[in-house]
Amino acid sequence: EVQLVQSGAEVKKPGESLKISCKVSGYTFTTYWIGWVRQMPGKGLEWMGIIYPADSDTRYSPSFQGQVTLSADKSISTAYLRWSSLKASDTAMYYCARIPSPDGYNLDYWGQGTLVTVSS
């Protein structure tokens, strides 16, 4: 069974750093791209970027380029989303999801989401 299990909710202060995780199981981690999606409170879904765990090839949506960093650890089948300096506007739910590559262009399995709250 394919599963993506994300780390728990976080409460941070502006300026702090944060790394959230997405641990996958049930398939070979290195053979599918992983996408990250933001959903701000009461708002819609936004593509942030994608990463190919086999070689850490990473592509960012223009809106998120330079704002976050995607990474992956093949040894523990885990993808990460990192901020170096959080802002209040980063408060949102963040989802990881699998892209059924190489011929897939959608998100077929999703994590449960990680709620990030940034407040002074």
Partner 1 sequence: QSALTQPRSVSGSPGQSVTISCTGTSSDVGGYYYVSWYQQHPGKAPKLMIYDVSRRPSGVPDRFSGSKSGNTASLTISGLQAEDEADYYCSSYAGSYTYVFGTGTKVTVL
Other CB atoms within 10 A of residue 54 CB: 14
Provide the CB-side half-sphere exposure for 21 (13 A, CA): 11
> Considering beta carbons, is residue 37 or 92 the nearer one to partner 1?
37
Cα–Cα distance, 113 to 60 (Å, whole number): 19
Task: Enumerate binding residues for partner 1 (CB under 8 A).
Answer: 35, 37, 44-47, 50, 59, 61-63, 95, 97, 104-108, 110-113
> Considering beta carbons, is residue 86 or 96 the nearer one to partner 1?
96
> Considering beta carbons, is residue 61 or 67 the nearer one to partner 1?
61
64: left (phi over 0), alpha (psi -120 to 50) or beta: alpha
The least distance separating partner 1 from the CB of residue 88, rounded to whole angstroms, comes to 22
The least distance separating partner 1 from the CB of residue 43, rounded to whole angstroms, comes to 8
The least distance separating partner 1 from the CB of residue 97, rounded to whole angstroms, comes to 8
Q: What is the DSSP letter of 23?
A: E
The least distance separating partner 1 from the CB of residue 75, rounded to whole angstroms, comes to 25
> Considering beta carbons, is residue 85 or 112 the nearer one to partner 1?
112
Residue closest to 66 by CA, chosen among 45, 83, 46 = 83
Helical spans, DSSP H, in the chain? none
